[in-house]
Chains A and B, each alone.
Chain A
Amino acid sequence: MPNKKFDYDKYLRKNTLPHIWCPGCGDGIILKSLIRAIDKCGYSKDDVVITSGIGCASRLPGYVDFNTIHTTHGRALTFAVGIKMYKPRLKVITVSGDGDALAIGGNHFIHAARRNIDITMIVFNNYTYGMTGGQSSPTQPLGTFSTTTPFGSVEGPFDVCNLAQAAGATWVGRSTSYHAVQLEKFIVNALNHKGFSVLDVITNCHISYGRRNKMKSPVEMIHYQKDKAVNVRSSENIAPENMAGKFKTGILYENKGAQEFSEEYYKVLNAVKIK
C-alpha cells in the first residue's frame, strides 16, 4: 500500500507545476514511481542526473529536483553517456518516449546497450507520438491506427525488451502504468543494477492513441494494460499463438556479472595513467 506520509515535495519542483500532461495520462504514475524508487535507493539529490529527449515523457525532468537535462530529440542517452563517463560517481537516469528512444534515438539506444554503461533507461511506451498529435511510432502494434497510418499499421513494431537484450543491455524489464507497485519495485531493481538497465513501461495516451483505437478513456487504456499484461512466469505455460496481442511483464533478463563500461574504462585509464 502506498505510504501516505511519503514526502513528494522533497523531490518535486512545485514552481514548475502543473505539468503539461493531459488528465488521465500514465506519465504521472511513472513520475510518482520514479520518485519513490529514487527515495528508496537513498540517493542524494545532488548525485542524480536525469536526461531526456523530446516529447511528453521527456518533460519529466523539469518537474523533479535533481540535475536535469532536457536535451534534443532522441539524444538523451548521448548526454547521459558524456556525463557518466566524466563523473562516473553520478547516478544517471534517462527517460524517453518510444519514438524518442527507438526511432530518432535508436542508434544511441543500441550503442548504450552494447557498451553496457551504468545508466537506467526508462521508456515511456505509449505506442504513439503524443505531443505532435498521434503519429505512428516504432512500437505501434500491427493493425492499429494513427494519424499517419489511417488505414492501419502494416509495419511490425519493436519489442523494446528483446531489442535491448539483443543489443547488450544487462537488465531488462517491463511493467505498465497500471502495475504501479510493481513498477516502483522494478525501477528500484533497475537503479540498483550495475550496467545498462532498460525498463519498458507500457503507458496510456488515450488522447492521441486510444481515441483512434477504441479506447478513448484512460480507464479503457488501463484495462488494456491489465488485460494484455502476462507475467513472465505465467507466460511460460502459454503457447506463443495465444500470446498474440499480449505482452510479457516482469524482469525479463538480468546479467549481474557483465563488465560495465565506465568502470572498465577507468580501470584502463588508471593503469596507463602517467604517475
Chain B
Amino acid sequence: MTKNIKLMQGNEAVAEGAIIAGCDFFAGYPITPSSEVMEQLSSKLVKLGKVCIQMEDEIAALGAVLGAALGGAKALTASSGPGMSLKAEHIGYASMCEIPCVIVNVMRGGPSTGLPTLPAQGDIMQARWGTHGDHAIIAITPSSVNESLYETIRAFNLAIKYRTPVLILTDEIIGHMREKVVIPNKEDIKEILDVKLPDVPPEKYFPYNYTSGKVTSLAPMGEGYRYHVTGLIHGETGFPSQKTDVIQNAQKWLYDKIYKNIKDIEKFEEFQTEDADILIFAYGSVSRSARQAILMARSAGIKAGLFRPITIWPFPEERVSSLSKKIKKIIVPEMNMGQAVLEVQRNACGSDVYGLNVVNGEPITPDTIYYKIKEVAGA
C-alpha cells in the first residue's frame, strides 16, 4: 500500500492524531502557540459529526471536556503556559474523579505571559505537580511532528485504560514546525481503545475500585448507570467519605494504578548508548539537537549516547538508574533552569549529572550540546 505522506505542523499532527484516535469532543480557548489545534478541529471534527466548541475561558474548556467525558466522549483540550496554570484546577478534578481526557500543552516561555511565541520546556514539573494534592500523572514528550500524531493516539489509549488525564507536552518548535508525517492507515494502528459500557449491570456497578488492582471502566452517563461524581475523597460507590481506610486506599490507588503499571506506560528511545561514556538525557525538540551533537562527538572520538524519554511522567526511573551504573557522566540539556535534571540526579546515583540550561527563547543548538560534551569529556 502506498504511504499517505503529508507536510504538516505539530499542532495539526496532534489534531490529526486525535481524529484517528476517535476523539469526539474538543473544547478549548485561544492561546498562542496552541490555537491551531482548535482551529483545525473546528472544521475537521465537525465534518465528522463530532463536537468542537470554543469556551469562555481555559477553566471552562477543561470543565466541558470533563463533562463530555463523563457522558462517554473521548475528549481533548489544548493550551499553553498561562492556560495550563488555569487548567490545573480541573486536572486535579480529572485525577481525583478518574475521568479520562487528553490535554495538550504546547510549551512556551514563562512564568506568566512569558514568551508566547517562543519555545521552552519550563512546564515539566508543572505537568507533574501543577495541581494541588497527591496524585500521579501521565505526560508524554514527542520530539517531532510525526511523533506528535502517533503519541496523541497513544495518549487517548492511556487515558481510557488508566482513567486519568494524560498530558502531551510539545513545545513551540514542534507545534509550529512543518515536517513530513506518515498518516497511518487504519490497519497500521495497533490499538485504539474505546469507551465501553461496564461488564456488570447497573445495580452491581461501582464507579471506583481501589483494591483489586484493576481499573474499573467509567460508565458513560445517560446509559442507565446512575452514579455520583465528586471531587471530595470518595469511596468505591462514588459518595464522599472521611473514613481513614477509605481515604488511604483512595489516595494510594491514584498512585498505584500508574506506578504499578509503569512498564506499560513508559516509553523511551536510546541512541548509541551501548558503548557510551557520556549519556545525554534529552526530550522533546532538544533531543534532536542532542542526537546531532552525539554524531559530532563520535566523529571527534567521544563516545556519547542519547536517552530520550517519550513518556516523561511517570519518570523512567529504572532505565535511568541502570544506565547510570555503566555511564558515569550524564548531561541533561533543557530549555529551562533545570527540571528533568532533578529526576535524573535522583535516579542516577553515583554518576556525575550536568545540567545544560538555555532559557533565552532560542532552541538549544547541536553546537551548544557538543561543546558541553567536550567540556564534560575533559572533566
Which A residues lie at the B interface, using CB under 8 A?
13, 15-16, 45-47, 49, 51, 61-62, 65-72, 75, 77-87, 89-90, 107-108, 111, 265, 268-270, 272-274
Contact = CB atoms under 8 A, between A and B. Distances in A.
Contact of A81 (B49, B64, B240): B64
A65 B237 CA distance: 13
A269 B24 CA distance: 13
B227 A75 contact: no
A272 B42 CA distance: 12
Interface stretch (B33-41, B54-62, B338-346): B54-62
Contacts, number: 144
Q: B interface, how many residues as a size bin?
A: 35 or more
B308 interface: no
B67 A69 contact: yes
Interface stretch (B209-217, B218-226, B248-256): B218-226
A81 B73 CA distance: 13
24 contacts: A13-B228, A13-B239, A46-B222, A46-B226, A47-B222, A62-B228, A62-B230, A65-B226, A67-B222, A68-B226, A69-B67, A71-B66, A75-B60, A78-B55, A79-B67, A80-B67, A82-B63, A85-B64, A86-B24, A86-B73, A87-B71, A107-B56, A111-B55, A265-B53
- Chain B interface mostly: mixed
A210 to B, nearest CB: 27
Given A72-B89, A108-B56, 18 more contacts: A16-B239, A46-B222, A46-B224, A46-B226, A47-B222, A65-B226, A67-B70, A67-B222, A69-B67, A69-B70, A69-B230, A78-B55, A78-B60, A79-B67, A81-B63, A83-B222, A111-B55, A272-B46
A269 B51 contact: yes
- Chain A interface mostly: helix
B226 A45 contact: yes
A170 B66 CA distance: 26
B313 interface: no
B231 interface: yes
Contacts of B60: 75, 77-78, 81, 107-108, 111
B231 A78 contact: no
A163 B248 CA distance: 44
B377 interface: no
B47 A274 contact: yes
B229 A70 contact: yes
Nearest to A49: B221
B56 A268 contact: no
> Which 5 pairs of residues, A with B, have the shortest CB-CB distance?
A82-B67, A78-B63, A82-B64, A79-B67, A86-B68
A149 B216 CA distance: 48
A272 B47 contact: yes
B348 interface: no
A72 B229 contact: no
Contacts of B239: 13, 15-16, 62
Contact of B49 (A49, A71, A273): A273
Contacts of A51: 67
Chain A CB count within 10 A is highest, among B49, B55, B73, B226, for B226
Given A62-B228, A67-B221, A70-B228, A85 B90 contact: no
A78 B55 CA distance: 9
Given A62-B228, A75-B59, A265-B51, A83 B46 contact: no
Contact of B27 (A46, A75, A82, A274): A82
B65 interface: yes
A31 to B, nearest CB: 15
